[in-house]
A and B are shown apart, each in its own frame.
Chain A
Amino acid sequence: MDTHVHDRRRFLALAAGAAAAPLLTACGAGFGGDDGKSDGSAADDVTGSFDWKREKGTTVKALLNKHPYTDALIADLKSFTAKTGIEVEYDVFPEDNYFDKLTVDLSSGRASYDVFMLGAYMVWQYGPPGWLEDLGPWMRNSAATGAEWDQADFFPNLLRADQWSLKAGAPLGRGGQYALPWGWETNVVAYNTEVFRKLGLKPAESFDELTELAGTITQRAPGAGFDGMYGIAVRGSRSWATIHPGFMTMYARNGLRDFTVDGGKLTPAMNSSDAVAFTEDWAGMVKRGGPPSWTSYTWYQCSSDLGAKKAGMLFDADTAAYFQAVKGASPASGKIAFHPGPKGRDGSLATNMWIWSLGMNAKSKKKSASWLFLQWATGKEHLRKSAVTHNHIDPVRKSVADDAAYKDKMRHLPGFLETFETVVDQTKIQFTPQAQFFDATTSWAAALQEIYGGKGARSVLDGLADDLAGKVG
């Protein structure tokens, strides 16, 4: 009997071993990380005169987020292939899981995709591990980049926003160019003109006024024929995305910082006394005139409430309002106007922004073809076409912003162009670049929710600062 047991045990061990062995050898140590960075840029290998057809016959793989800008890009891909002879294969995923996909894919160290969409904040997470190609050498190489690309045509703050030295706390605009701005969003106030007219209201010029205004709408609009309408829609869910639109914009307009940087060391500043006071005021505004069930609000809820005439105002990306305002999109279309939003200390209109950028995988085997794609996708020709014939609004290029056909198209939206022109020079990334951005802003959103729920702002924000001090260095 005993021997049987031994036999069986040995058998089991063998069976387990047999199953695992091939996998073990296939996997090595099992980490997905990189195999060392190479010196020098592949851009240096491109010599001679610039030629769009240089890489014809190649196929480039792109990972794209579902977005109207993407729709415009996909619609125009034929002209890219005609121009270069390069085919583009692409996968499109919705925003909810796009970044999970991209992050996991990049972290595996594989070049599944040559080019992809990302935001400026992602550069802070993807740049330091060496996942992103520095595009600077490509831009500077006249053999790789055609003269018509015209770097000076970009709004300079946008180009700078994707430029970083990969050191926590180091200002943007220095170091490598880890992505190119392609489409962007400023965070401003959009409002329902109908309710403003009926109640005789004017857009707020200061934050106190905005709070008043939001409270007034919540109080008076339902009685004036706007069933269930409240004052102002802002995001409130437990996500990093809650912080960066309206909240960060108003925070920056009040001259507040997320971190202070001293000799390369970051100190959380969300608990400075001014920041505590402002955060309390923000939570107070939400309570007086914000959406019910605010803590579940993502941009879906915010923008659909504006469209459904449930929100009198929206303090969020201008695009979130724009896509409710276009003809036939929602009950509120034709009744949405734009305003830069309240001014901060000393009349500041500092505005935070989101930039849909295009980046290149540092592991790509087709960098030269990928660069031609990025060059085309951020070039004047495509961007103008997609702005005029599609919904690629908020141009990253001055030439498109000034284009008569584009302006004509946008003119029917009251205040849109004026607002854009007012804030564009003061719009930049208002956060301090550092790799733990997503952790920091997610915790920040959770803290905001707790303050809104009635906890003391001082102690909650002190706790947040303590927690972050250990993580961000």
Chain B
Amino acid sequence: MRLALRPYLLIVPALLLTCGILYPFGLGLYYTLFDFSASKPQPDMVRFENYTTVFTQEAFWNSAWVTVLYAVGAALAETVLGVAVALLLHRSTIVGRILEKILILPLMIAPVIAAIIWKLMLQPSVGVVNHLLRPFGLGGVQWTDTPTGALLSSIAVDVWVYTPFVAILALAGLRSLPASPFEAAAVDGAGWWYTFRRLTLPMLWPYVLVAVIFRFMDSLKVFDIIYALTEGGPGDATVVLQIRAYLEAIRFQRYSFGISYTIVLWAVVYLAAMVLVKHLGKIQRKAAEVTT
């Protein structure tokens, strides 16, 4: 009995804290069953009407699509770029050793500030990016003016901020890989590509996957970068779910309806996380000996 309880006792503080956080979630969920808004401060219970409205709105499906595009795009680009940077740094050349020290810098700029600075830099009239590209005939590029451009620009800012996160985790993984399989491969005269595909990548994957999970989940609920960069425009091109929820709940004062949006988003994120974490557990177990 004593032994059986110990793990729970150790978890209790975290659990209590979690309940503290859980409460507002419960309250939020409860709100969505009403038609609570500025024009209705004494709301009526409407059961699931908010959700049926959400799912029948074209705006919702557009936002969901944009959100997925953004999250997949950002997570993919950050993974590829982050792993590439980590591999290059892992060679520990002189250049690499110097640059490694400043790798984390972009992560320290708050994303909302980063987006504001990027917006200023990308402003064709006075921005420095177009100024520098002018000699190459690219001075007139209107970065955020088309739907695709706006989405790609937002993703680029996300990539700028969070690639170091993936790179650091991947580098940590690379540094902790055992040396012996690589030595054996070298003795066998295996080529670089073969070693990379058969040894490095599979062994590195659990580390990278943790980073990917964090990045994918986080970019599904992106808010600040788009809030500061495009406000959702042009048209509805970058109105991700959290922006829509913000507009509904805060700017238009339809609290219940706005929160419904975020609950749906949460469900999506939760499911996606569950699948990914299951997968992570599987490959972690595969890669390691279970200790008990």
Binding site for B on A (CB under 8 A): 4, 8, 11-12, 15-16, 18-20, 23-24, 27, 30-34, 99-100, 103-104, 107, 109, 125-126, 128-130, 228, 230, 237-239, 291-296, 301, 304-305, 308, 310-311, 435-436, 438-439, 442, 445-447, 449-450, 452-453, 455
Q: Known interface pairs A107-B253, A450-B234. Does A293 touch B143 (Cβ–Cβ under 8 Å)? A: yes
**B interface residues, tally (CB under 8 Å):** 51
Are B125 and A228 in contact, CB atoms less than 8 angstroms apart? yes
Are A438 and B125 in contact, CB atoms less than 8 angstroms apart? no
Q: Known interface pairs A31-B43, A238-B233, A450-B235. Does A103 touch B253 (Cβ–Cβ under 8 Å)? A: yes
- B108 CB–A CB distance under 8 Å: no
Are A230 and B125 in contact, CB atoms less than 8 angstroms apart? yes
Nearest-CB residue, chain B, relative to A301: B123
Residues of A near B41 (CB, < 8 A) are 31-34, 107, 109, 129-130
Q: Known interface pairs A19-B20, A295-B144, A449-B235. Does A438 touch B122 (Cβ–Cβ under 8 Å)? A: no
Are B123 and A19 in contact, CB atoms less than 8 angstroms apart? no
Are B123 and A296 in contact, CB atoms less than 8 angstroms apart? yes
Residue with the greatest number of chain B CB neighbours at <10 A, chosen from A100, A230, A446, A447: A446
A156–B30 alpha-carbon span in the complex (Å): 47
Nearest-CB residue, chain A, relative to B228: A96
Give the contacts of B2-45 with A (CB-CB under 8 A).
4-5, 8, 12, 15-16, 19-20, 22-23, 26-27, 30-31, 34, 36, 38-39, 41-43
Residues of B near A449 (CB, < 8 A) are 233-235
A30–B247 alpha-carbon span in the complex (Å): 22
Are A238 and B230 in contact, CB atoms less than 8 angstroms apart? yes
- B218 CB–A CB distance under 8 Å: no
Residue with the greatest number of chain B CB neighbours at <10 A, chosen from A18, A238, A446, A447: A238
Are A31 and B36 in contact, CB atoms less than 8 angstroms apart? yes
Could you show 27 A-B contacts with beta carbons less than 8 Å apart? A4-B1, A11-B8, A12-B15, A15-B12, A19-B20, A20-B23, A103-B251, A107-B41, A129-B38, A130-B41, A238-B239, A293-B123, A293-B143, A296-B144, A310-B126, A436-B252, A438-B251, A439-B247, A439-B252, A442-B247, A442-B252, A446-B234, A446-B236, A449-B234, A450-B235, A453-B146, A453-B235
Checking B19, B125, B142, B143 against A20 with a beta-carbon cut-off of 8 angstroms, the contacting residue is: B19
Residue with the greatest number of chain B CB neighbours at <10 A, chosen from A30, A34, A125, A130: A30
- B281 CB–A CB distance under 8 Å: no
Nearest-CB residue, chain B, relative to A126: B38
Are A238 and B232 in contact, CB atoms less than 8 angstroms apart? yes
- B250 CB–A CB distance under 8 Å: yes
Are A296 and B140 in contact, CB atoms less than 8 angstroms apart? no
Q: Known interface pairs A107-B253, A450-B235. Does A291 touch B119 (Cβ–Cβ under 8 Å)? A: no
